[in-house]
Structures are given as C-alpha cells and as structure tokens.
Chain A
Amino acid sequence: MIGDAVICPYCRTRCSADQLLMSCGPLCASAPPFPAKTLRRNRCPHGRVPLARRVCPACGRAVPREYAEAPGRAIVVVGEREAGKSTWISAAVRQFETGEAALAGLSLHLLGESSRNRYADLRTPTTEPMLMSIRSVSAKPAVLALYELPEDDCPPDIMATAAGVVRVIDPMWLPGVRTLFGLEPRPTRPAPWAHHVPTALTVSKLDLIRDMFTHGSPLRRPGLQDRGHVESDSLDVHHEVEAWLARWGGIDVPRDHRCFALSAADGQRVAEPLLWLLSRLRATRT
C-alpha cells in the first residue's frame, strides 16, 4: 500500500483501499459486490454486517484483509534455475514458523488459501505471489508479497512494484568456484535487472563450499537468528561474502545491497536475508 493506494498482488492494479469491493453476507441474497467506501457504519447497503473479504475490482480476486490494511510490500526472489530459490523460501518460512527465528519473537502466517497452496507446491513455476504476515513483539505486522521468479524472465510490472529483492546465487555457477571444482566454465551474463531497491545478494548451498573457509570465518559460524537481525554479525557476513564474490567473479553487485550466505539443508543463516530486508523496510525492530 502506498498512502491509501493498494497494489493488487495478483494483477498489480493500483487502487485505493476504498475501491476494493466487499460482499454482502448470506442474508442479503445474490447482492452484487460494492466498494468499501460505501460502507455505512461498517454495514452493507442492506444494513447488515458484510463479509470480511475484499476483492480487487480489476481481477476479481480476493485480497486478504491484512494485505489491504497493512503496508504490503512486494519482495522478489530471483535467481538462475535451480539456484535454490524454492528451497530457501521453504526453509525460511519453516525457520519463522518453528525454527530459531521463532525464538526471536517473530512469527509468520501465510495469508489466504492461494498462498498456502503456493507454499505447498513451490516447485511449479508461477508468478503467483505468496502473501505472508510477519509479526514481532510490540510492532505492527509486516505484510509481504513474495514472488519467486526466474532471473531472465521477470515481468516488468512486478519488478516495478518490488520493495526489495533477494537474489539467490548458486555458488556452483560462479567461475571461481567452477575452476576450483574442476568444472567446465559456464558463460556468465549480467543480471537483466538493475535493482534500485535493497537487494540481498544471497549465496545458497553454503554446505557445499563450507570447507573453503577458515575456522574464524563467520560463514563457519551459526547465525544469530534467534536474536533477530544482528547488524554486527550481518556486517561480518557481508564483508566476508562480498570479498569471496569478488574473488569468484561473475556477479554484478548493485548499489544498495547486503551479502549473505546460507545453507537451507542445515538451516544455517536461512532467515537472515529476510530479517535484513524487514529491517531495511523498517518493518521490525533491529
């Protein structure tokens, strides 16, 4: 939501919150939907309590109430094919639901049937967003629309509305790592999108390359996810990963970025990119 404006997470149509359509309850037989602004004392035109669900006037899909009322932000997760995008999303959600991030007082709720279905089938490529609400103690919930997109096929309208980007990087694609593993070099290509929003450059599959780091490296330490976003630890990881990415090559670094590394298989530092973005978006306490 920008000001009063709500961007439909499905069709990206911008409208005011008052323009979202509401429906009458079962007692008002077959009454057409009506704009929210026509509510009178929270009553429908028939004087009864309406249904809570709101509908986008353009595409007709239900917009969850939390999304319509809270400042919903679009987070785009991009990366090459099989870079680990789906695996990271799945591990991150689990981390918030039952893992260490939950110990930091954060909780995550998927909004709407569509998001729950999306979470249950992350393997199917789609531009369907996963809407989630992340709540923390003594703070308003942050509502995110998470889009998982292939790096070379991002719909411009989604990128235009993105508030943050998580760019997932498979280290096995990077030239320096491939040379180290004796693999054939792969052509590198610049990122098709110049991200002008906070971008989390996230190296995935850390468990595959962990032995490359010295004992003192932060990449051989567990994260501090149980304390939420810890800036000093995040900065330590950022300096370390940034130096490694420069050595491995093949990555264009955007201006506003923070580097991360994680292992979804081990649950190591999985929630950190999302915690940083929430911090940057001032959605949680640091």
Chain B
Amino acid sequence: MTFAEESYVDDVLVPVRTGWSPHRNYFRVYRLPPHPRQAEVDAALTDLPARWGTLELRLHAVACERLHACHSTAVAVLGDPAARTRHREFVEQEHQALVEVVRHRLHGAPAMTRDDVAAVVRVAGGRWSTPDVVAALDAAGAVVREPVPLPRIPRPKRWPTLREHLADLPHDSLWEYLSRTAELRGADTTPAEVETRRQRLRVSRDRAADAERAVLALVRLWAATPGGLSAALAHDLLAALAAATVCGYRAVRELATPQRCAATLSTDPDAVAYAVWCAREEAAWAETYFEAVDAHRLPAALDVLESRPLPESWARVRDGLRADLDRLRASLTQAREAEDADPEDAAARYLAIGRELTDPAVDEGLRRCPAAAPPAVSATVDGAAVVVDWQPSPSTAGNITYRVCRGSTVLSEKATAPLVDLEAPVGLPLTYTVTAARDGAPGGATSSEPVAVLPEVTDLRLVTEPGVVFGQWRLPPGALRAVVRRTGSDSEVPVHENGFTDRDVEPWTAYTYRVLVEYAALRSHGIDIPVVCLGEPDVVTDLLAVAAGDVVDLTWTPPRGDEVEIRLLTSPEAAPAGVVRLDQAAVAGPVVATSRCGRVRVPAADLAGGRTLVPVTVSGPVATIGTPVTVDISSVHVTGLSAVRLGPQVQLSWHWPAWAREVLVVWRHGGPLADPADPAAHRWRVTRTAYLSRGTRLNAAEPGSHWFGVCVVGDGQLGPLATVESPCPVQLRYRLHGRARALAVEVECDADLPDVVVLGKEALRPLAPDDGVVLATVPGGQRAGRAEFTVPAEWRGPVHLRAFALDDSMWVCHPDPRDLVVR
C-alpha cells in the first residue's frame, strides 16, 4: 500500500490539529480497512508512527504529537480483536450517520460535486474525512461528479411582461405555449407564423386574447433576431428548473424533458437537471447580483460577490467589477475637481458616470453644476392665448429641458420653444418664468416682462339711422363692462349692457367710435370703428339707363344716403312718394342692382324682359323713391352675325339682344350696305319667333359678293346695322347622256370653264378629284365643253360618276343623282 501524504494530511492531520480526537476512528488514523487482518494492523501500528516524524509531515507537528500521545491506546484497541470489533461498531455507527447526512444533502440527486464533498468535510469539523463522505455517497447510491457547464443566458428583454401575460393563458411557460398552440412550432416558430396567429386573434375580444396578442408581440420581437427565440426558450427552461430546485432534484429532473432540453440547450436532460441542481445556491445570489448590475448599483453587486466564496469564473467577474468601480470612483473625483474650473465639463463627466453607476454623488454633483438659464424669455399676447418664447440655454451637457411657469403655476416641461398658453387668465398682469433643467435637475431661470390678455368685444356692429347711431357687441368672458368713446366728445358715451344708443350726433357727419373692455385691473386697447351718421335720403331724379349689347349701363348723381337700389318697376301704382320705410319701397319691384358710386352695369338678362327701372335711395331703415326711367334700346344691336352658304341660299344667324323682338334684315348684291335705307338693298322683317322656328335663309345665287345686314327694330326706331359678306361662287353645270356605258359629258358655265374631269368609282360616289378613275377630261378656256367616254366593262355593280372642276372656287351643279349611277 502506498502512502498518500497529501490525502493523509487532509483526512487526518488537519482534523486532528483542529480538534478532532484520533480516538474516534483508529481505522482512519492508521489507514486501515474496516476488517483488517492482524498483519495489516501490526504493520500499520508500526509504520504510521514512523511517518509522523518524517520531514514531509513535520509541518503538522502538533497533530503528530497528539497522534503519538494516542498511539498507546490505539495499539491496545486495535491489537485486541474484541476491542477492535467494538471500535469498528462505533465507527460503523458514525458511517451510518454520515450516510444519512449525505442522503439529506443529496435530496434525490445522483451525485455530489467535489466542492460539496469538501463542504461536508469542512462543516463536520473533522468528524468525517473525504473518503468517509465518498463511501457514504456510494452507500447512498450516488457518486462524486462535476456538472456540465451551462451557458449563461441573459434575461430576454421584457421578460417580466411575458410572465404576467402567461398568467392569463392556460400555459405555464413560453415553451408550453409555443409547443401546444396551433400554427406555432415551438422553437422553430417563424415571424410569419406569429403574424398568422395574430391575424386569427383579431376578431377575439377577451382577456385571454389580449394576453396572447401581447405574448405574440414579444415572441415576434425575439424571433426577429437570429437565435433570439432559442435564447428566450433556454432562459425559460433554466428559470423554470431553478424554481423547481426547492422541491428537490426529482422535480427538476421531471421538468427537464428531453424535447425541451434538446430544442433549447442541445444537452442531455440529466446533465441539465444536475447542472441546475448544483447551481441552485448560486442562482439565489446571482439574481441579486444581476439586479444590482442592471440598476447600476455596482457597489451592491460587488458586495454580493465578495460576501461568499466564488468559483473561478465568478471570481473573474468580481475582479472585473472591482476594477470598474475603482475607475468610476476615480472619475467621480476628477469630476469633483473640475466643478470650479469648468462646470459644463464636470456635468458631462457626472452624466457619463451616471450612465454606468448609480451613486448619490453623481446627483449631488449635477446639482452643483446646474444648467444655465435661458438668455431671454418673451411673452406675446395672441388673441386669448399667450405665446411664450425663449432662447436656448448655453448649457449643452445632458438632456436640457425647460420648465415654463406662469407665476407659480407649472405649465409644461418641454425641450424646445415656444409654448402657447391657451388658458391664460384674462385681465391680469402675467409673468412667465422659464427654468432650464439638465436631466431633470433644475438650473437657472429667466422671467418675461409682464403681459396681459385683454380680449376685445366681439360681434361689434354699428348701425345708423337718421340722427342716431346704435352700437351692439358681446363682452368677452371675465370683462366687467365696455367703455365707448366718440371723436369730438370728451366724455364717454353712455352704454347699457351690450350696446349703446347715441343720439347726440349730427346727420351726414362722420364719427369714429372706440369700444374698450374694462377688466378688474386693466382696460383693453379698444376697437376703432368709423361711421357716418345718416340723415334723410335724397331723391334720385337723373337716372339714365342705356342698353349696350347684353348689359344695361345705369348712371345717376350719387345722393347723400346709405346706397341706391335700382329696382325693376313692376308696380308703379304701389310706389309711394317721399321718405318711406324701406319695406314700403320694396313693393315697387325687385332689386336688380345696388351701388353707392352713381354707376352700375346690369346684365340685361337680370331684367327678365322688363325695361322700367326706378332708383331708391336708402338711408338705414328709410328710403326715398326716385324718378323711374325706361331703358334706352336705341343703340342695341345684334351680335355674332354670320352667313353660311347652303348652295344657292345663305343662312344668317345672330345673337338677339334683350328686349329685341324684331329685326330688319337687308341685303344686296355687288356692294356693301351703307345703311338700312340703302335703295339697292332688299328688306325683310324677321320676328324672333320666326327666327327661332325656321331660321333665316335668303336666296343669293348670283355669282359675286352678297352683303347682309341686321338691325334691331325697337321703339319705332332702327338700331345700329350689323353686316356680313358672303360671296357666291361661279356656277358650273354639266349633264351626262348616252347609252349603256358609252356616255358623253356636256359642261357649261357663266364664265370661262376651268379644266373639268369626270371620275368613275365602283360602289361609292367619288368625293374629290383624286377619289376615282378619270374617265374623261373637258379642257377649260371656253364657256362650254364636251367629252365622250366609256365606263370600263369590267367594273361590276353600280358605278358612280361625278364631274369635278379643277378649280375649288367653282360651284359645280350636279345633275339628278340617278343619272350619275351606271348599273
């Protein structure tokens, strides 16, 4: 048997030195099995004491001396078989006790880590050694085994939200929800499948549907990043397993199903369960640590790590955290030193530190470096609102916002100017203060000059009647009363509740009234409104109405009065004389125009055929009816006169002016029309009805120019003559004769003939000189001509013939259409 000095030190010497009595287990001290042979006993009793004095064990002199002191007793016990048996029974009882301890600590687990074994040994105070514990584990059906390393998965974003919503669903975990929900495929769920499920839920309106929609939103968030959903499911599994550790290893193992472990961690479920079981103590304080780190409470996080022995991986974390904390504290010191020289720089440093560390010193430092006040603040009244504007604070470090106060009332906190105060109290002086803030820490403040919201009266209206001016308005809310002043008067005009009646005025005099609003402490600027006090209206006696085309020009001398209404006189007998009420004047007829300047143009169509107009001078509620006149239509004339030649006839058309019922049509041949009485002209009276029924057509077949004129006949007079010219082309006549398809054409004309061609075409009539086959040509130059031709026999069906003059100005008169078709 080899002697392992290192394990002997750990198992025997150290416990003996720290107070464990060697008499409790001689088998252990002398490295004997439970049932040694006598030779083994003798050898051990001889060999071990010799080793206690060796150089290797001399470092444990105290323990060795204690062993030496016990050696004689040990020899007596071990050397006597009966005593040895009794001692073995005692040791066996100790072993059974240890087995119970180990079973308790295993809590159903299949193994224990070396650290756990060492912990048992350490806690037992030397009562049991590591081999004792290993033997007890063996007796309990367990082994010493290290767990597989599990990946450290950070908590997914908004994980607590998921837990809340899952509580409203019949699923305990994200895995269960994704695995058991139709349309979703566990860890392989895609964003498209999530969207499909969301669409299906659109029509549902209950708490569970709302919760599921929220869960799907989170799943979509995680599934959008590669590996995001797997990480969330792994976190889901590990968190569930960690929570199950309080129920024992069996509960953890049952929860770690093969499918779930394979889909999320790709690890054997036994290994996962054992790893989580071994890390159950770490999980408790690790949660505290991570919470502290998330909240930037780095000192607290460091305290968590420093307050317990740590495995190597966590020790590295602790050392790194300690270094970061030292760096940040050094930065705090630097920021503190920079406060006096450059507060903005110090504030920027504090803000940078604050992003990593939550520390009261950061907040205190920021309070010592406040944001500078806005350089200027202005307040402007705009109607019932006040617009508060300010220049930005020169401070730039951090998030600079502004708190706007009206007096002591906080109105808003915003990042940019301006602010519109829609609820400013009326009639009071108002001061606005803008305070700059850096990341919420208040800084310097600047106030505006006092302003006041003083709304004017609304719906202000002045009405004048002869010798009196009335005023009406509506007072704005908060006003006490209105004050009215008039030009030329030192005193105020007496007012009643919402108006005034001023009889202290002269007719036909201009005044300006100023209406102010009085508030509790101030008065408004007021509204100026000019008015001319009316007098009795003057009568219009010189109205002139002249029709010109489609309009009637009306002129008169503008009288003193409000305005002049031009009315179509329909009831002359009902029109009263003198100054009357306006409604009495209305019976004269409808208003066709209104003017103040003595001139107006009225569309003739507005007069609806009427011609008698009367001026009515209006002055407030009274009016004076003037002298009626009849529209002068002596100068009206037709417009748009045109002549369309229809063969030997000319069709005339024109636009009829209003009132015209009859026109005189005159026409002549060979020269222009001088006037309607031209002795060489023909005349024809055409009524409007006849024109509209049949139109106007005149025979004008003589070659050369024909002149046509139209003038309106009205009031026994003829109006201006409108004229138009229509030339009549020279006529060319021809006829065809012959038998079957052998034909001849004879042409004659009042002037020398142009060249004439006869065309032929199958089925359809030729329409132009190039629209067919030339069958014959009659040369020009004479007054008459003849040519013979034959229609080709191969032409089938009806053949249409037609002659054309090779001069477009000629008027070709064709014979009977039946003579122009050869069958």
Binding site for B on A (CB under 8 A): 94, 98-100, 207, 210, 214-216, 220-222, 232, 235-236, 239-240, 242-244, 246-247, 266-268
Give residues of chain B (707-752) contacting chain A, Cβ–Cβ below 8 Å. 729
B329 within 8 A of A: no
B694 and A100 contact, CB distance less than 8 A: yes
For this complex, 18 residue pairs linking A to B, each with C-beta atoms less than 8 Å apart, are A98-B693, A99-B693, A100-B694, A215-B645, A216-B814, A222-B646, A222-B649, A232-B816, A239-B764, A239-B820, A243-B764, A243-B766, A243-B800, A244-B767, A266-B651, A266-B653, A267-B694, A267-B695
Binary per-residue interface labels of chain B (795-823) against chain A in the complex, 1 for a CB within 8 Å, 0 otherwise: 00000100010001011111011101100
B811 and A268 contact, CB distance less than 8 A: no
With CB as the reference atom, state the residue of chain B lying closest to A241: B765
With CB as the reference atom, state the residue of chain B lying closest to A222: B646
Interface of B is mostly: mixed
The winner among B694, B766, B811, B813 for most chain A CB atoms within 10 A is: B694
Q: Give bound CA distance, A215 to B648, whole Å.
A: 10
Chain A residues lying within 8 Å of B697, measured Cβ to Cβ, are: 222
Q: Give bound CA distance, A177 to B648, whole Å.
A: 27
> Given contacts A98-B694, A100-B694, A221-B647, is CB(A247)–CB(B767) below 8 Å?
yes
- Across the interface, B767 reaches (CB within 8 A) one of A100, A243, A266, A268, namely A243
Q: Give bound CA distance, A243 to B804, whole Å.
A: 16
With CB as the reference atom, state the residue of chain A lying closest to B766: A243
> Given contacts A94-B693, A235-B817, is CB(A268)–CB(B646) below 8 Å?
yes
B811 and A266 contact, CB distance less than 8 A: no
Q: What is the CB-to-nearest-CB distance from B692 to chain A, in angstroms, rounded to a whole number?
A: 9
Q: Give bound CA distance, A73 to B399, whole Å.
A: 92
Chain B residues lying within 8 Å of A247, measured Cβ to Cβ, are: 767
With CB as the reference atom, state the residue of chain B lying closest to A213: B767
B529 within 8 A of A: no
Give residues of chain B (667-705) contacting chain A, Cβ–Cβ below 8 Å. 693-695, 697
Q: Give bound CA distance, A240 to B761, whole Å.
A: 13
Q: Give bound CA distance, A13 to B818, whole Å.
A: 43
Q: Give bound CA distance, A243 to B801, whole Å.
A: 12
The winner among A214, A221, A232 for most chain B CB atoms within 10 A is: A214
A220 and B646 contact, CB distance less than 8 A: yes
Q: Give bound CA distance, A235 to B646, whole Å.
A: 18
Q: What is the CB-to-nearest-CB distance from A95 to chain B, in angstroms, rounded to a whole number?
A: 9
Chain A residues lying within 8 Å of B693, measured Cβ to Cβ, are: 94, 98-99
B644 within 8 A of A: yes
Q: Give bound CA distance, A244 to B765, whole Å.
A: 9
Q: What is the CB-to-nearest-CB distance from B745 to chain A, in angstroms, rounded to a whole number?
A: 15
> Given contacts A221-B646, A246-B764, A266-B653, is CB(A214)–CB(B808) below 8 Å?
yes
Q: Give bound CA distance, A98 to B820, whole Å.
A: 35
A236 and B817 contact, CB distance less than 8 A: yes
With CB as the reference atom, state the residue of chain B lying closest to A247: B767
Q: Give bound CA distance, A232 to B821, whole Å.
A: 12
Chain A residues lying within 8 Å of B767, measured Cβ to Cβ, are: 240, 243-244, 247
Binding site for A on B (CB under 8 A): 644-649, 651, 653, 693-695, 697, 729, 764-768, 800, 804, 808, 810-814, 816-818, 820-821
Q: What is the CB-to-nearest-CB distance from A165 to chain B, in angstroms, rounded to a whole number?
A: 22
Chain A residues lying within 8 Å of B647, measured Cβ to Cβ, are: 215, 220-222
A99 and B645 contact, CB distance less than 8 A: no
> Given contacts A98-B694, A99-B694, is CB(A240)–CB(B765) below 8 Å?
yes
Chain A residues lying within 8 Å of B729, measured Cβ to Cβ, are: 215
Chain B residues lying within 8 Å of A222, measured Cβ to Cβ, are: 646-647, 649, 651, 697
A242 and B646 contact, CB distance less than 8 A: no
Chain A residues lying within 8 Å of B808, measured Cβ to Cβ, are: 214
Chain A residues lying within 8 Å of B653, measured Cβ to Cβ, are: 266
> Given contacts A215-B811, A222-B647, is CB(A235)–CB(B694) below 8 Å?
no
> Given contacts A216-B811, A216-B812, A232-B818, is CB(A210)–CB(B644) below 8 Å?
yes
With CB as the reference atom, state the residue of chain A lying closest to B694: A99
Q: Give bound CA distance, A96 to B543, whole Å.
A: 47
Which 9 A-B residue pairings sit nearest by Cβ, starting from the closest? A221-B647, A216-B812, A215-B811, A236-B817, A98-B693, A243-B765, A239-B765, A243-B764, A222-B646
Chain B residues lying within 8 Å of A235, measured Cβ to Cβ, are: 817-818
Q: Give bound CA distance, A247 to B767, whole Å.
A: 9
Q: Give bound CA distance, A240 to B800, whole Å.
A: 11
B818 and A215 contact, CB distance less than 8 A: no
Chain B residues lying within 8 Å of A232, measured Cβ to Cβ, are: 816-818
Chain B residues lying within 8 Å of A246, measured Cβ to Cβ, are: 764
Chain A residues lying within 8 Å of B649, measured Cβ to Cβ, are: 221-222
Q: Give bound CA distance, A236 to B647, whole Å.
A: 14
Chain B residues lying within 8 Å of A267, measured Cβ to Cβ, are: 694-695
Q: Give bound CA distance, A100 to B766, whole Å.
A: 31
With CB as the reference atom, state the residue of chain B lying closest to A207: B644
Chain A residues lying within 8 Å of B800, measured Cβ to Cβ, are: 239, 243
Q: What is the CB-to-nearest-CB distance from B179 to chain A, in angstroms, rounded to a whole number?
A: 61
Q: Give bound CA distance, A81 to B729, whole Å.
A: 38
Chain A residues lying within 8 Å of B818, measured Cβ to Cβ, are: 232, 235
With CB as the reference atom, state the residue of chain B lying closest to A212: B767
With CB as the reference atom, state the residue of chain A lying closest to B805: A216
Q: What is the CB-to-nearest-CB distance from A7 to chain B, in angstroms, rounded to a whole number?
A: 34
Q: Give bound CA distance, A94 to B693, whole Å.
A: 7
With CB as the reference atom, state the residue of chain B lying closest to A237: B817
Q: Give bound CA distance, A236 to B764, whole Å.
A: 12
B694 and A242 contact, CB distance less than 8 A: no
Q: Give bound CA distance, A242 to B651, whole Å.
A: 25
Q: Give bound CA distance, A243 to B767, whole Å.
A: 7
Q: What is the CB-to-nearest-CB distance from A220 to chain B, in angstroms, rounded to a whole number?
A: 6
Q: What is the CB-to-nearest-CB distance from A190 to chain B, in angstroms, rounded to a whole number?
A: 20
Chain A residues lying within 8 Å of B813, measured Cβ to Cβ, are: 216
Q: What is the CB-to-nearest-CB distance from B818 to chain A, in angstroms, rounded to a whole number?
A: 7
Q: What is the CB-to-nearest-CB distance from A103 to chain B, in angstroms, rounded to a whole number?
A: 9
> Given contacts A99-B693, A236-B817, is CB(A214)–CB(B646) below 8 Å?
no
A215 and B695 contact, CB distance less than 8 A: no
Q: Give bound CA distance, A222 to B818, whole Å.
A: 19
Q: Give bound CA distance, A207 to B653, whole Å.
A: 13
Chain B residues lying within 8 Å of A242, measured Cβ to Cβ, are: 764-765
A266 and B812 contact, CB distance less than 8 A: no
With CB as the reference atom, state the residue of chain B lying closest to A231: B818
Q: Give bound CA distance, A100 to B693, whole Å.
A: 9
Chain B residues lying within 8 Å of A216, measured Cβ to Cβ, are: 811-814
With CB as the reference atom, state the residue of chain B lying closest to A99: B694
Chain B residues lying within 8 Å of A100, measured Cβ to Cβ, are: 694
With CB as the reference atom, state the residue of chain A lying closest to B768: A214
Q: Give bound CA distance, A220 to B767, whole Å.
A: 13
Q: Give bound CA distance, A222 to B646, whole Å.
A: 6
Q: Give bound CA distance, A220 to B649, whole Å.
A: 10
Q: What is the CB-to-nearest-CB distance from B750 to chain A, in angstroms, rounded to a whole number?
A: 14
Q: Give bound CA distance, A221 to B813, whole Å.
A: 11
Chain B residues lying within 8 Å of A207, measured Cβ to Cβ, are: 644
Q: Give bound CA distance, A148 to B694, whole Å.
A: 24
Chain A residues lying within 8 Å of B810, measured Cβ to Cβ, are: 215
Q: Give bound CA distance, A268 to B697, whole Å.
A: 11
Q: What is the CB-to-nearest-CB distance from B105 to chain A, in angstroms, rounded to a whole number?
A: 94
Q: Give bound CA distance, A222 to B695, whole Å.
A: 12
With CB as the reference atom, state the residue of chain A lying closest to B816: A232
Q: Give bound CA distance, A268 to B694, whole Å.
A: 10
Chain B residues lying within 8 Å of A98, measured Cβ to Cβ, are: 693-694
Q: Give bound CA distance, A72 to B314, whole Å.
A: 112
A239 and B814 contact, CB distance less than 8 A: no
Q: What is the CB-to-nearest-CB distance from A98 to chain B, in angstroms, rounded to a whole number?
A: 4
With CB as the reference atom, state the residue of chain A lying closest to B648: A221
Q: Give bound CA distance, A222 to B701, whole Å.
A: 13
Q: Give bound CA distance, A215 to B803, whole Å.
A: 13
- Across the interface, A214 reaches (CB within 8 A) one of B764, B812, B816, namely B812
With CB as the reference atom, state the residue of chain B lying closest to A233: B817
Q: What is the CB-to-nearest-CB distance from A79 to chain B, in angstroms, rounded to a whole number?
A: 23
Chain A residues lying within 8 Å of B821, measured Cβ to Cβ, are: 239
Q: Give bound CA distance, A220 to B695, whole Å.
A: 16
Chain A residues lying within 8 Å of B804, measured Cβ to Cβ, are: 214
Q: Give bound CA distance, A246 to B772, whole Å.
A: 14
Q: What is the CB-to-nearest-CB distance from B188 to chain A, in angstroms, rounded to a whole number?
A: 55
